[in-house]
Amino acid sequence: MTRRNFPALDWFRLVAAVLVVAIHTGPLSSFSPVADLWFTRVLARVAVPYFAMVSGYFLARQNWKGTGRLWRHTLVLYVLSVIAYLPLNIYAGNPVTWRNLIFNGTFYHLWYLPALLLALPLARALAKNGRWGLGIAGVLYLLGLGGDSYYGLAGRLPGLGILYEASFCFWDYTRNGLFFLPLFLLLGAAFAVRPLPAPRTSARLALVGLLAMTAEAFALHGLNLTRHDSMYLFLPLTMWGLFGLLLAANAGQDRAVRRTATLVYLVHPWCIVLVRGLARFFGLWGLLVENSAGHFAAVVPLSVALAFALQALAGARSRRLSPDVRAWREIDPDALRQNAAALRAALPEGCALMAVVKADAYGHGAILTARALAREGADLFAVACLSEGIALRKGGIRGKILILGWTDPAQAPLLRRWRLCATVADAEHGRTLSAQGVPLHVHLAVDTGMHRLGIPAEDTAQLAEMFALPNLHVDGVYSHLCTSDGDTSADRDFARRQTEIFAHTLAMLRGLGLDPGLTHLQASYGVLNPGCVQEQRFGAARLGLALYGVRSDSTSVESPLPLRPVLSLRARVAAVHQLRAGEGAGYGLAFTARRDTCLVVLAIGYADGLPRDYADKGGVVLLQGRRCPVVGRVCMDQMLVDATDLPQPPQAGQIATLIGVDGEETLRAEEVAEICGTITNELLSRLGPRLGLQVRER
């Protein structure tokens, strides 16, 4: 893995989880209590604040819209963890009280989960107040500090002492309540809305903070002032520098490592018990328990192994193919996220990404795609028709959804019910929508030369009339570039003229005192060929094909962004036949073997989106990492492939790749589209709905 693609944030989650294990095993205590104090009570104290900062950072990137989802996920984890540790609580005679269940966690490491459940809504509320909210969280942290590392001083003050004793009726420690996590959630969130510090600056802050925290910890422990030691005065400074350093090094995500870190955190106390039991059974108590380094060295790999085993068990169930899945689309969500990030970075400042998920997200699965993008902060979506918009709403998509195509005005109540924004296709369409008597949100389509949908750009009177119509609330104005994918100077010149016409129309509307709302002109090729729009700036860009990591064809573009294909198309081998030279196969016996031939039948056909004459066009598939030609006529449900030259005899059930990577070979969607005599947009959009849809796991 190169540095450029290193998911530092996710990998440090695993480091943080191991540091939590160190806190509970004391790896250096057998050798040097002083060194163990520094390792477990100073250095390892960065672990839990880091978990909170990562959560706050990603929540803020989504404008805190994922708070409810994270809260529910945390609640499910907590309930499952309570159940998992119930046997240990019963064995140890620890009753699961309501106080511990709600405030402290029912086992010593589970305190973080109920604390996070309390801190998330509080942090979200404080985040709305900007610096004031961060200041309030800082004051809460200082109050908590007095009940933690500085309790020997603050607890003697009459007013504070009473406050702390009252809080201890609920929480065992102030870290468990309102005082600890909100600050670190908001510190992480701050990195999402402000410029990233230089790595050198972050490194210096982290080092200075850690040195100061070390001195602070040894002084407090030496004076015996601590009630607990989760909170230090210099801990926020240390975390600010550390998180800035990791964020500067971060590129991409590693969901498997992230899940492993969470599971290591959750299961390691069980592993401590298991190591002790095994050590007693095999007579290794001295090596694996009394020797603290040996104890730590046994618990960590056992925790990681158990985490992998649990993931494998869950993954085997989630990835198991249904027996009737013969052909399927395989979606790579990491590629989708990477593409969205690359496209956002390419957009001008202030220009939002509108995800185009029409035609089932170009065959990628509209709901799956929209959910993945929503988790990355997308809240603008575009579809082609009413039914697609309703499907997104039923799938839980809450952002703004624009219907780009014509909508029957009689369906106005459904537009209202499902909170969908309609396109005004022309002036008469707008008047008819208004006449339905239903309040609607609309975008005005402007015809700048494509002559498809839209009110003519020069007809300012009709455009202005739309703003005055009752029941219509104009939220946006847009047009579409029809030659931005071309590579000739005439194509680019026409796109630039369209841009100038659209910008002039917007200026005219503003001159009349009309607010055009969200303006958008560029689609994928308008971003890949930014010269089309020159220096013009609009409120959003409608991105479809580029989001999925492909282009319409192999034509070069001005700005070839680092985009990865999201979709692969696979099918299973249904049967294998051995033909003698001269034998025919398929409808009309269109294929005649010129030699002894190994003929493979794939369980995919023209009803799944490939043309009937794919073989005549030069169609190929990948089997065992090699290209094999399609032969004969493609059937509705099957196709024939000549697999004679494969190094190993193919077997029924093997997987063939029609789009994607197999070993060292790749069949890009652009290549397949060119073989079919069409563009990638059409090829992907007509992939049949009976194809399965699977998510690739890292």
Give per-residue pLDDT as tens, 593-607.
999 999 999 999 999
Whether residue 80 is predicted with pLDDT greater than 70 in this model: the reply is yes
pLDDT score of 2 more than 50: no
* pLDDT confidence of residue 34: 95
Among residues 265, 358, 400, 478, the one annotated as catalytic is: 358
Provide, for the chain, the percentages of residues in helix, strand and coil under a 3-state DSSP scheme, each rounded to the nearest 5.
55, 15, 35
| 1 pLDDT tier (thresholds 50, 70, 90) | very low
pLDDT at 4: 42
Cut 0.75: pTM above it: no
- Coil, strand or helix at 352: strand
In which element (H, E) is residue 384 found? Answer: none
Are the beta carbons of 543 and 355 closer than 8 angstroms?
yes
Do residues 511 and 493 touch, judged by C-beta distance below 8 A? no
Phi, then psi, of 679 in degrees rounded to 5: -110, 160
Pairing, β 655-662 against β 665-667: antiparallel
Instruction: Select from 92, 108, 272, 52 the least CA-distant residue to 100.
Output: 108
Whether the Cβ atoms of residue 115 and residue 175 lie closer than 8 Å to each other: yes
| CA dihedral sign, ordered 445, 446, 448, 453 | positive
- Structure-token pair, residue 489: 């100077």
Residue with tokens 């402007």: 446
Q: Across residues 514-519, what is the average pLDDT?
A: 97
- Give the pLDDT of residue 288: 93
Mean pLDDT of 458-482: 97
> What confidence score (pLDDT) does residue 205 get?
96
Please report the pLDDT score of residue 537 as a whole number: 87
Half-sphere CA count of 464, side-chain side, radius 13 A? 13
Average pLDDT over residues 19-26: 96
| Burial zone of 96 (CB within 10 Å; 0-12 exposed, 13-18 middle, 19+ buried) | middle
> CB of 683 within 8 A of CB of 605?
no
Q: Are strands 639-642 and 597-602 parallel, antiparallel or unpaired?
A: antiparallel
- 320 or 150, higher pLDDT: 150
Q: What is the mean pLDDT of residues 146-165?
A: 89
Please report the pLDDT score of residue 306 as a whole number. Answer: 94
Terminal alpha carbon distance of the chain = 14
Half-sphere exposure of 473 (CA within 13 A, CB side): 10
Average pLDDT over residues 13-31: 96
Q: Give yes or no for residue 500 having a pLDDT over 70.
A: yes
Whether the Cβ atoms of residue 623 and residue 646 lie closer than 8 Å to each other: yes
Beta bridge partners of 520: 478, 540
Whether the per-residue pLDDT at 697 is higher than 70: the answer is no
How far apart CA 620 and CA 535 sit, in angstroms, is: 43
Say what the pLDDT of residue 555 is: 86
Domains of the chain: 1-29+254-318 (no CATH), 42-252 (no CATH), 330-548 (3.20.20.10), 567-695 (2.40.37.10)
**Region 191-202 average pLDDT:** 88
Q: What would the two tokens of residue 269 be?
A: 């106390």
**324 or 610: whose pLDDT is higher?**
610
pLDDT at residue 621, rounded to an integer: 97
Task: Please name the helix (run of DSSP H) or strand (run of DSSP E) that holds residue 88, with its range, or none.
Answer: helix 67-92
587 carries an active-site annotation = yes
358 is catalytic: yes
d(Cα 652, Cα 603) in Å, to the nearest integer? Answer: 10
Maximum Cα interatomic distance, the chain, rounded to a whole number of Å: 101
Q: Which secondary structure element, helix H or strand E, spans residue 664, and what is its range?
A: none
Is 375 buried (19+), middle (13-18) or exposed (0-12) by CB count in 10 A? middle
CA distance linking residue 489 with residue 480, whole number of Å:
18
- Mean pLDDT score, 336-354: 93
Residue 340 has pLDDT above 90, yes or no: yes
DSSP count for the chain of H helices, then E strands: 26, 20
CA angle at residue 680 from 676 to 684, to 5 degrees?
95
C-alpha distances in Å from residue 14, one per residue of 37, 74, 261: 21, 18, 4
Q: Any residues with CB less than 8 A from the CB of 297 and at least 6 apart, and which?
A: 27
d(CA 687, CA 682): 9
**Rg from Cα positions in the chain:** 30
Q: Are 529 and 499 in contact (CB under 8 A)?
A: no
Handedness of CA 26, 32, 38, 39 (dihedral sign): negative
Would you call 438 helix, strand, or coil by DSSP? coil
- For 302, the token pair is 């056992």
Q: What's at 621, amino acid-wise?
A: V
Spatial distance between the Cα atoms of 539 and 477, rounded to a whole number of angstroms: 10
d(CA 209, CA 226): 19
pLDDT higher than threshold 80 for residue 698 = no
Name the band, by pLDDT with cuts 50, 70 and 90, for residue 324: low
- Per the structure block, which two tokens stand in for 275? 């190591």
552 vs 377, which has greater pLDDT?
552
Q: How far, in Å, CA of 455 to CA of 462, rounded?
A: 7
What pLDDT does 96 receive? 85
Torsion of CA 204, 210, 212, 214, to 10 degrees: -160
| Residues 271, 277: Cα–Cα separation, whole Å | 10
For the cut 50, the answer to whether the pLDDT of residue 320 exceeds it is no
Query: Residue 672: its pLDDT value, please?
Result: 96
DSSP-assigned beta bridge partners for residue 327? 571
The mean pLDDT value for 393-407 works out to 93
The predicted pLDDT at position 315 comes to 59
pLDDT of 252: 66
* Buried-exposed string 145-176: b where 16+ CB fall within 10 A, e elsewhere: bbbbbbbeebbeeeebeebbeebeeebbbbbb
Model pLDDT for residues 620-634, shown as the tens digit of each residue:
999 999 999 999 999
- Range with lowest mean pLDDT among 40-44, 119-123, 256-260: 256-260
Whether 419 and 393 have beta carbons less than 8 Å apart is answered as: yes
Type of residue found at 296: F
Q: Across all residues in the chain, what is the average pLDDT? A: 92
